Amino acid sequence: MAVNIRGKSLLTLLDYSREQIEYIIELAAFLKAERRAGIRQRRLTGKSIVLIFEKTSTRTRCAFELAAAEEGAQVTFLTNSQLGKKESLEDTAKVLGRFYDGIGFRGYEQKTVEELATYSGIPVWNGLTDMYHPTQVLADVLTIKEKTCKNLSDVKLVYSGDARNNVANSLMIISAILGMHYTALCPPELAPEPELVKKAEELAKKSGGSIITGSDLSLVEGADAIYTDVWVSMGEEDKISERIKLLEPYRVDMDLINKTGNPNVLFLHCLPAFHDTNTEMGKLVEKEYGIKEMEVSDEVFRSRHSVVFEEAENRLHTIKAVILASLGAV
């Protein structure tokens, strides 16, 4: 299936059609198989991309840099720039648009990535903002498709936890577009924004999918996959106590896994995950609040249900697919 995405930015999946998203996922699967066979095509020889990251990163930065390098592109990881200091975002974007073929951005405000696309005139890829995380959920759906071997229209995906964060927003959107059945399992205080839910419901009506939001743990019944994310995102460290009180009932442990009634249910997480005390955050939470696990139990994280590292690997393949398609290299 060939779909033309040349010159198109990836700012939010709301801007993509079902056919375009399916094409990227299909292309990512092809590129994954190609890489495992040791085939290198270097389709981006002569191209250059720049990465602007306001937030720390492991998977997103590595995936962007490696995806571009394997296809022959040059990469600049921009640090100590004048952006927002001695130079406006608009002026910087106009300069970068004359130097580079594409921009990868990871940061805070959604409007920043949108303005980069407006003023640079080249494809801009959203590697995470406070509102959306589209490259992550492309990898998530590829993983679900691989591991369930089901049509996506038959998949029930349950997100348990803070259901109004960037990952949950993007999961709801992609589920609605692709006809999946999405459930946001969360306390009312952390439910997704009503306007976004309304938009997702409209998309799901067209695709044959469904969107459900609720706080009853029985909503996990029949799930093909359970997804969670950290209870406290970057910049929200002052909310740890509040989030623990709200979200402890929604920790993904074996009791919740068993409530699905599906012995083959998958567990997904975008990582990093606070499943033990082997991190600074983990040690702090244990010391201050007396708990050793946050959003997922260590038992589930290390269980046969967990596909988190396959999911992490798929970040590389889906990001490579996005870059190649938007730069017209496939």
Q: Is 45 annotated as a binding residue?
A: no
SS (H, E, C) 280-291: HHHHHHHHHHCC
Q: Is 38 left (phi over 0), alpha (psi -120 to 50) or beta?
A: left
Q: Is 60 annotated as a binding residue?
A: yes
Q: Is 6 annotated as a binding residue?
A: no
Q: Is 210 annotated as a binding residue?
A: no
Q: Is 270 annotated as a binding residue?
A: yes
Residues 6+ apart with CB under 8 A from 23: 1, 2, 3, 5, 325
Catalytic residue chosen out of the listed positions 20, 101, 136, 305: 136
Q: Is 233 annotated as a binding residue?
A: yes
Catalytic residue chosen out of the listed positions 181, 275, 305, 315: 315
**Has 149 been annotated as catalytic?**
no
Q: Is 228 annotated as a binding residue?
A: no
**Has 43 been annotated as catalytic?**
no
Q: Is 59 annotated as a binding residue?
A: yes
Catalytic residue chosen out of the listed positions 61, 133, 269, 317: 133
Cβ–Cβ under 8 Å, residues 136 and 159: no
**Has 276 been annotated as catalytic?**
no
Q: Is 57 annotated as a binding residue?
A: yes
Catalytic residue chosen out of the listed positions 140, 224, 229, 317: 229
Query: Strand, coil or helix: what is 61?
Result: helix
Q: What is the DSSP letter of 193?
A: P
Could you tell me which of 144, 148, 146 has the C-alpha nearest to residue 171? Answer: 144
Q: Is 135 annotated as a binding residue?
A: yes
Q: Is 271 annotated as a binding residue?
A: yes
Catalytic residue chosen out of the listed positions 162, 270, 275, 317: 270
Q: How many residues does the chain have?
A: 330
Residue written as tokens 């991309």? 49
Q: Distance between CA 131 and CA 240 in Å, rounded?
A: 20
Cβ–Cβ under 8 Å, residues 112 and 105: yes
**Has 6 been annotated as catalytic?**
no
Catalytic residue chosen out of the listed positions 20, 61, 101, 106: 106
**Has 133 been annotated as catalytic?**
yes
Q: Is 136 annotated as a binding residue?
A: yes
Q: Distance between CA 176 and CA 181 in Å, rounded?
A: 7
Q: Is 120 annotated as a binding residue?
A: no
Q: Is 112 annotated as a binding residue?
A: no
Q: Distance between CA 1 and CA 231 in Å, rounded?
A: 39
Burial profile 240-270: b = 16 or more Cβ within 10 angstroms, e = fewer: beebbebbeebbbeeebbebbebeebbbbbb
Q: Is 317 annotated as a binding residue?
A: no
**Has 253 been annotated as catalytic?**
no
The residues annotated with a catalytic role in the active site are: 106, 133, 136, 229, 270, 315
Annotated binding site: 57-60, 82, 106, 133-136, 166, 229, 233-234, 270-271, 315
For the annotated binding site for carbamoyl phosphate, the residues are 57-60, 82, 106, 133-136, 270-271, 315
Annotated binding site for L-ornithine: 166, 229, 233-234
